[in-house]
Structure 1
Amino acid sequence: MSNAANIHRANDPHDFLNLQTLVDSEELAIQQSVRRFVEDRVLPEIGDWYDEGVFPRDLAKEMGSLGLLGMHLEGYGCAGTNAVSYGLACLELEAGDSGFRSFVSVQGSLAMFPIHAFGSEEQKQQWLPGMAAGELIGCFGLTEPDSGSDPGSMRTTARRDGTDWILNGTKMWITNGPIADVAIIWARAEEGIRGFVVPTTTPGFTANTVHKKASLRASVTGELVLEDVRLPETAVLPGVVGLRGPLSCLNEARFGILFGAVGAGRACYESALAYSISREQFGQSIAGFQLVQRKLVEMMISVNRSTLVALHLGRLKDAGTLTPAQVSFGKMDNVRQALDVAREARNSLGANGITLEYPVIRHMNNLESVYTYEGTNEIHTLALGHAITGIAAYR
């Protein structure tokens, strides 16, 4: 066999740079188990779930049994994996659908993480084991109708009334909100921003489902309304005061996103590649046309480059040296790359690219939301600008 043939066989179109060699056996085993879950339990039904606008809550316990919920946390029924393993799990979940990665991100990084990092031992024992098992679902209430990129301007208030707290306000665009058993609510108190662990059965707490979404349809989004919600002192997260609390949670979630976006981009590229090879026009496979090959090559390069960025940032996180600005780098560029891949793949599939028989339009629509949430593209741009110039241009 010629050297050229050997080289051709070595170039796996699904892992062109042989990036699998950059993960160890345990990390690879976790990634493969999540991929099997997605192939067996998500992909056969996801088109219908997306079309109908539903999230299959019953799968939460299955994800819990796989150790996916709060998997990067230690103790309390959590798997305690390293950051790269968590990232690879997010990658495979989002290759299925962004809604599933969003569910796991919110549950583990936005709801469980603040309890784990800032909660009392009583709060940890009460909530974390059930959340890790998928028996209890959590949500994260920070964003408000008039407070998105500027969380410091939130209007939700928490005032003391004897030994109790009274919460009033509205949170918006809350993933898992309408199906949650517990909400982590951030509110403005006299001493600063405080976090509260709020059972959703508390009187005065209401969750309203957001309907008519064209993106993240296989995910439940809600509005949380708090009207004189009375909570005991034990509901306060004692370990943090100020925006450092919610922002640290968002940083955890963004780390999962920068891996997850790679999965969405990979799914679009692989769909376009398979379609281009099988689709015939003018008497030959369209993969043999130069313009089509250019699109496929650009998609492949984007996916491999984004994977390298994600793995590198994962290693930095495991080493304890990852900075918030570096997370912004990964979230901003990997989502941007995935969205570009999705749009190119949609074009490559022609009219078939807009049907839910293929994953591309679903991923493309989902990524429009991923591009915006957990920090808009513009905010991450300014975070990076601040990091390299030392000048904050937020105002």
Structure 2
Amino acid sequence: MSQAERAGQDGSFLGPVDLTGLDSLFSSGEKELALQVRRFVDEVIRPDIADWYDEAVFPAEIIPELGRLGVLGMHLEGYGCPGRTAVEYGLAAQELEAGDSGLRTFVSVQGSLAMSAIHRHGSEEQKNEWLPRMAKGEAIGCFGLTEPTAGSDPASMLTYARQGAHGDWILNGSKRWIGLANLADVAIIWAQTAEHGGGRGIRGFVVPTDTPGFTATPIRQKLSMRASVQCEITLDEVRLPASAILPSDSAIGLKGPFACLNEARYGIIWGVMGAARDSFNAVLDYSATRTQFGTPLGGFQLTQAKLADMAVAINKGYLLAHQIGRTKDADPTKLTPAMISTGKLDNCRVAIGIARDSRQMLGGNGITLEHSPLRHANNLESVRTYEGTDEVHQLTIGRTLTGLSAFTTG
């Protein structure tokens, strides 16, 4: 039975994990959108995800289908974008990640990072050139911030953009762990524009990936996010017109990329709950059919205790995501970095714990791709790391609590 069919049978669109009436928090339209995305995942993703993961293949052929589904740049208004609410985007994210974190990551990189950067910081020409095609999945974007030596500390990036005599820009440097870069038609590249910028001279550039000097090389032999693609980018005298810079004052310094990162982090808060819910459903089904010592696993006290703890944790995670999503929809100015960090930190920790516990409850069978929890657990190692490690989010929350920054020791 598919999860969509199961949800209808159990009453709540979230299925048997809904112990606290989460269903009542969402409108009929919000639930129908979630179920529409779930049907797509059930029909298009689940039949092949084990093979894609095993063979380390990202199914690029589904990109136009995601465009037709309306999940690319889902939260953005105008320029051919769907213009959905934050909560609707969150519900879509958790359904996509119930299929695989790599699928939700694609949607996040495309919409929350690359498209958001152009939508928030770009010129009208940049918006009209790229956003309508990206919303349809006809053009793919990537977001180049992280570097081989600058992960949690982007202010120390070494990629440098110098301005030529005629106002053009020349970029040199490298980026690492950049999703979609080898598939992308356009890259948003962040670079220092002052020799001693210290973060204040960082600017964003819209870089067509067919520009001479731009090279994207996929990172191989990954143990996580195998049905996804991450790359190293090399920028060797990449020459761009003056119009390539993101012109908005909001894009000056690290506030430009950080605004986009917060959009991506918001999607993660919801997304990982989909992976947790899928892991829970997998082991709940297994516990009903797997018999040991003459008794279904679900009849043992230890199994029930673990299932109860998982379900309670998932309910709390959805309540946290819902609170943050409703706040974002009501007044985005009240969505603080501490709120985003709270959701990303705790929901990632909860989700990876549930996926690991679910794998354990599946016994030896749990290490095969016949079951989803270990695949989810491996993927969540990446999700927990990118868009801010646990430590980054702990220090963001700590700064809010104490009024003191502990990001540097100097």
Q: Pick the TM interval, shorter chain.
A: over 0.9
| Deviation string, structure 1 residues 123-147 (Cα, Å, up to 9, x no partner) | 0000000100001010000000000
Q: Secondary structure at the match of 1:168?
A: strand
1:183 maps onto 2:194 in alignment: no
1:308-328 Cα distance to aligned partner (Å, 9 max, x none): 100111001111221111000
The whole-number CA distance in structure 2 between the counterparts of 1:43 and 1:302 is 25
- The offset of 1:10, in angstroms, is 8.5
Structure 1 equivalent of residue 261 of structure 2 = 250
Which residue number corresponds to residue 398 of structure 2? 385
The aligned counterpart of 1:272 is 283
| 3-state SS of paired residue (1:75) | coil
CA distance in 2, matches of 1:18, 1:54: 38
Q: CA RMSD in A?
A: 1.1
Moved more, 128-137 or 316-325: 316-325
- Residue 298 (structure 2) pairs with residue 298 (structure 1): no
Distance 1:185 1:159 in 2: 14
2:144 matches 1:141:
yes
Tell whether 2:239 aligns with 1:230: yes
Q: How big is the shift at 1:28?
A: 1.2
Give the match for residue 212 of structure 1.
Answer: 221
Match of 2:64 in 1: 61
1:347 to 338, 360, 365: 360
Shift of 1:18: 2.1
Partner residue in 1 for 2:5:
none
Identity %: 57
The aligned amino acid for 1:306 is: G
Given residue 230 of structure 2, which amino acid in structure 1 is its aligned partner? T
1:350-371 residue CA offsets vs partner (Å, 9 max, x unmatched): 0011100010110010001111
SS in 1 for 2:240: strand
State the SS of the aligned residue for 1:374. Answer: coil
2:327 to 316, 329, 333: 316
Name structure 1 gaps, 5 residues minimum: 1-8
**1:287 corresponds to which residue?**
298
d(CA) in 2 for partners of 1:132, 1:277: 42
In structure 2, the residue matched to 1:6 is none
Secondary structure in structure 2 of the residue aligned to 1:184:
strand
Show structure 1 runs of 4+ deviating over 3 A: 9-12
Aligned partner of 1:328 in structure 2 is 341
Render the CA deviation track for 1:253-297: whole Å, top value 9, x for unaligned: 000001001000000011011101111011110111111111111
SS at match of 1:13: helix
Quote the Cα distance in structure 2 between the aligned partners of 1:282 and 1:139: 52
Written as runs of structure 1 = structure 2, the 5 A alignment for 1:74-153 is: 74-153=77-156
Decide which of 62, 72, 76 is 2:75's aligned counterpart: 72
Query: 1:24, 1:106 → 2: CA distance?
Result: 27
User: How far does the alpha carbon of each residue in 1:157-212 deviate from its partner, in whole angstroms, 9 at most, with x for none?
Assistant: 00000221000000000011111111000000027110000000000000001000
Equivalent residue number for residue 23 of structure 1: 26
C-alpha distance in 2, partners of 1:62/1:19?
29
CA contact under 8 A between 2:182 and 2:231: conserved in structure 1?
yes
Q: C-alpha displacement at 1:14, in angstroms?
A: 3.0
Q: Which residue of 2 aligns with 1:170?
A: 174
Note if 1:193 corresponds to 2:196.
Answer: no
> 1:12-49, CA deviations, whole angstroms, 9 ceiling, x for partnerless residues?
62322221110112211211110010000001100000
Residues 1:10 and 1:56: Cα distance change in structure 2 (over 3 Å): closer
Partners of 1:311 and 1:41 in 2: how far apart? Answer: 27
**Conserved 8 A contact 2:17-2:315:** no
Q: C-alpha distance in 1, partners of 2:28/2:125?
A: 36
Q: Distance in 1 between matches of 2:211 and 2:401?
A: 45
Distance 1:116 1:373 in 2: 22
Question: What aligned pairs does 1:335-374 form with structure 2 within 5 A after superposition?
Answer: 335-374=348-387
One-letter code aligned to 1:95: A
Please, which of 12, 17, 26 is the counterpart of residue 14 of structure 1? Answer: 17
Separation of aligned partners in 1, 2:392 and 2:50: 32
Q: Which amino acid aligns with 2:328?
A: K
Q: Please tell me whether the aligned partners of residues 169 and 239 of structure 2 are also in contact (alpha carbons under 8 angstroms).
A: yes
Instruction: Tell me if the contact between 2:265 and 2:340 (Cα under 8 Å) persists in the aligned partners.
Output: yes
Deviation digits for residues 58-105 of structure 1, max 9, x if unmatched? 111100011100010001111100100000000000000000000000
Q: Which amino acid aligns with 2:317?
A: S
SS at match of 1:177: coil
* Matched AA of 1:111: A
* Deviation by residue 1:298-357 (Cα, 9 ceiling, x = unmatched): 111111110110011100111122111100000000000001101110110000111000
Aligned to 1:3: none
* In 1, Cα distance between equivalents of 2:107 and 2:325: 17
For 2:210 and 2:139, the matched residues in 1 are separated by 13
After TM superposition, the score normalised by the length of structure 1 is 0.97
**Alignment match, 1:4:** none
1:34 equivalent in alignment to 2:8: no
